[in-house]
Structure 1
């Protein structure tokens, strides 16, 4: 069995109750600080090395967010941008080939769906009910090969569950909320591996002209506007 398929079997066998136990042990309550939705550098920062907010979003999640947005003319690029890793900066902007999509960001590097609160500290997600799995499960991940470890190394862990930097860690969490989070965490682990396998199987190198960006996802090679390269 191939490594990714073996990891997928492990993900499908994850015990939701065991994941919930780990989440309860670590503890978590969202404080709505917005740190997981915003660029670390902040708006107007001069540090060119700082990356904007980068969260993986899958093709069907992009379409869901297009439908959820409160407008009829939201196109692919309003929701998602090519994952920056692997791209180089050409004379007219990014160019090259990359894998998967990241949530679109605003001029400050914050998620385009993040809405700052009145006190600049209690923000909210404009598409909270339809947010991607990586957003539903932050600050947690599971320790499986082929699944992502969001926003840096784990700062706490319990069995297979890893917790990443977040001021909401260590707070009491209701069992029902822990189970809901655990179910989403398992779903995300399965989905990430299914996506990785599909990307691998669909991948074919694309000859691009200078200045072009090609994104490889589970549906094939796409342009930055989400349309297939071979159209």
Structure 2
């Protein structure tokens, strides 16, 4: 895994400043604004908004056949309208202080020892050393949080049973049967 200083150097070489345009929150192609969230992130948003789980999150759309007429997926996503994240209101994020890691670190993502950069109008804007370091620290925390969630899912998955004919989400907290 990369250290914060190495990530900061890489982020700084791209430059970035959020233009608050909301483009990353809007659907411009199929699943372009699909925001995967952990159970902890869903609970944080629930606490901040008073919304119920199924008002905040929906199952990741790709299901795997469980072999018994049931199916499962391994992630949750923030709910979306036909054209945007449900929390995009008047061009602004209504849960900004509680936004998920993906949103907090966009347009950057760490994959092993590689910094991935998504398309964004804010790229190329000079970034201070402090700004690059802060972004890098968030990216490293996100990578650690995602690794912990993945490890939790693996533990649950080993003993998971999807009820016959049902759909479920297997996450780090357990098997959550969906009530369609």
Q: What CA distance in whole angstroms lies between the structure 1 residues aligned with 2:16 and 2:88?
A: 21
CA offsets per residue over residues 28-68 of structure 1, 9 Å max, x none? 11112212111114xxxxxxxx3363111110111110111
SS at match of 1:167: coil
Q: What CA distance in whole angstroms lies between the structure 1 residues aligned with 2:174 and 2:83?
A: 27
Match of 2:62 in 1: 85
Following superposition of structure 1 onto structure 2, how do residues 130-149 of structure 1 map, counting pairs within 5 Å?
130-144=98-112
C-alpha RMSD of matched pairs (Å): 2.0
* Pairing 1:97–2:72 present: yes
SS at match of 1:135: helix
* Pairing 1:176–2:130 present: yes
TM-score, normalized by length of structure 2? 0.88
Match of 1:23 in 2: 11
* Pairing 1:37–2:5 present: no
Would the aligned equivalents of 2:152 and 2:172 in 1 still touch at CA under 8 Å?
yes
Would the aligned equivalents of 1:81 and 1:224 in 2 still touch at CA under 8 Å?
no
Equivalent residue pairs, number: 174
Would the aligned equivalents of 1:100 and 1:217 in 2 still touch at CA under 8 Å?
yes
TM-score, normalized by length of structure 1? 0.69
* Deviation for aligned residue 1:208: 3.0
Structure 1 runs not aligned, ≥5 long? 1-9, 42-49, 89-94, 117-122, 145-158, 226-231
Following superposition of structure 1 onto structure 2, how do residues 1-231 of structure 1 map, counting pairs within 5 Å?
10=1, 14-41=2-29, 50-51=30-31, 53-69=33-49, 72=50, 74-86=51-63, 96-106=71-81, 108-116=82-90, 123-144=91-112, 160-203=114-157, 204-210=159-165, 212-224=166-178
Question: Higher helix fraction: Structure 1 or Structure 2?
Answer: 2
Structure 2 runs not aligned, ≥5 long? none
CA gap of 1:129–1:207, structure 2 versus 1, over 3 A, is closer
* Deviation for aligned residue 1:87: 5.8
